[in-house]
Amino acid sequence: MLLFLFFGGKMVIQSINGISYRLRTAHDMTWLNKYGKVFSVIDETGSGCICFGVENSQGKYFFKVAGADTIEGEVSPAESIASLKNAVQIYRDLAHPSLITLKDSFQYGELYAAVFDWADGEGLFDHWNFDKYKTENITPPYQRFKKLPIDNRLNAVSDIISFLENTAAKGYVACDFYDGSLIYDFDRGKLTICDIDFFRKAPVVNTLGADYWGTKRLKAPEEYIKGAVIDEVTNVFTLGAIIFDIFGSFSGADIAERYEKCAFIPCSRNKWELSDALYSVVLRAVSPRKRAAIYVHQRLCGTFPQCSQQVIYPPLTNPLQNCIINIVLFTGNVTHIVCPFHVIGVFLCLIKRKFVHSEYVVLLISFYMVMITLNRKPFFPISWSFLMLL
């Protein structure tokens, strides 16, 4: 064990199975050896948890341990334990094919651990590796992800939309959801969602003002306002901001401007990879003004990625004719919100393959938004067959 001083105070360097980790105060982690061999460690999390990869004859696991005095922790050890205990139920409630799988949780002395199946891949915002990427001239995972074919990235967005839809259906609101919550396996083309510890059961109110959880790169306006309601419409903003980051081009100065102005700033149309129609929809999702959101319930003949590979119009024999697509527009009143997370999904399905009448879909949606402005009922079902006639 080595003791150092750093800008935040003292730092203790320890190791397990030859892998070093840093804490503010020493903690014996050798108890992990009874679960297998430690092969990885992450010690720079703001949650106050230290994380270990552990492998045994049954497989690989991710141990998230709260209660240690971590070097980057933004909360006390006691607060980190309370947060992780609360998060365990969240992972159980929001179980989803794209969410990392919780296996177990337990108290160990003054520590608390949650155990997950290991997810192969690389974090899309692994800030603890940024210095390494710079000094060793390595392309960061997020930049590699941005260079993937559009279809691969659209499939990843589809998984995010599905997860957020499930989140809302279970009565939860996503909090502190960003690219740091995404792991991408470049070999298998698979996205895994992790680190949803701060998701909350609705209703949620911003009690922290500008210090509300989340990165300034992606936060919605209400996430800066104390007393503001945080709901599914907030998450539509977050989803739109994430999609802009995936399909838009931003310079370092553009990102710095978000931090300076405490506001997400979308890219211009000429820096956007997808269609005009989809740009318009995502732009509306991140509008700082009162937003209208679109709820889309899709009963697809297979998974979204499979459907998006097919030509939608024509031929008339396309299997998607059997889909039932309902679009619901609403004003942002939480009492009208069911689940708006397919605000983008329907357009990914309709526009991705250059659906020639996509501009009419936008006009149709604009018409219904006008109806809402005129205080008409917020529920307007539109069948797939009707969309095919546009």
Q: Is the pLDDT score of 162 beyond 80?
A: yes
Going through 7-101 in order, the beta strands assigned E by DSSP cover 9-16, 19-23, 37-42, 49-56, 59-66
Residue 131: pLDDT band (50, 70, 90) is confident
pLDDT tens digits, 298-321: 322 233 333 333 322 223 233 332
Q: What pLDDT does residue 50 have?
A: 94
Q: What angle do CA 189, 194, 195 make, to 5 degrees?
A: 155
In eight-state DSSP terms, residue 366 is H
Which of 14-23, 231-240, 283-292, 295-304 shows the lowest mean pLDDT across its residues?
Answer: 295-304
- 333 closest CA partner among 376, 290, 364, 297: 290
Summarize pLDDT for 325-349 with one digit per residue, the tens.
333 333 333 333 334 444 445 555 5
pLDDT band at 382; cut points 50, 70, 90: very low
Q: How confident is the model at residue 281 (pLDDT cuts 50, 70, 90)?
A: confident
Q: Where are the beta strands (DSSP E) in 178-299?
A: 182-185, 190-193, 200-201, 204-205, 229-230, 293-299
| Residue of higher predicted confidence among 253 and 321 | 253
Q: How confident is the model at residue 262 (pLDDT cuts 50, 70, 90)?
A: very high
Residue-wise over 113-131: b if at least 16 C-beta within 10 A, else e?
A: bbbbebbebbbbbbeebee
| Residue 371: band (very low, low, confident or very high) from pLDDT cuts 50, 70, 90 | very low
Provide the whole-model pTM.
0.74
pLDDT, one tens digit per residue, over 194-212 is: 999 999 999 999 999 999 9
| DSSP conformation class of 7 | T
CATH of domain 2-118: 3.30.200.20
Domain 123-388, second-level architecture: Orthogonal Bundle (1.10)
Return the pLDDT at 83. 94
Is the pLDDT at 5 greater than 50, yes or no? no
pLDDT of 11 > 60? The answer is yes
The predicted structure's pLDDT at residue 349? 52
- CATH 3.30.200.20 spans which residues of the chain? 2-118
> Which uninterrupted H or E stretch holds 5?
strand 2-6
pLDDT band at 102 (very low <50, low <70, confident <90, very high): very high
Stretch(es) of the chain classified as CATH 1.10.510.10: 123-388
Separation of alpha carbons 389 and 387, rounded Å = 5
Classify residue 7 as exposed, middle or buried by CB count within 10 Å of its CB (0-12, 13-18, 19+).
exposed
**16, 2 in Cβ contact below 8 A?**
no
User: Of the ranges 167-171, 340-344, 382-386, which is most confident?
Assistant: 167-171
Closest CA to 173 of 218, 217, 239: 239
- pLDDT tens digits for 174-194? 999 999 999 999 999 999 999
Per-residue pLDDT at 73: 86
pLDDT for the residue numbered 9: 59
By C-alpha distance, which of 206, 192, 199, 193 is closest to 176? 199
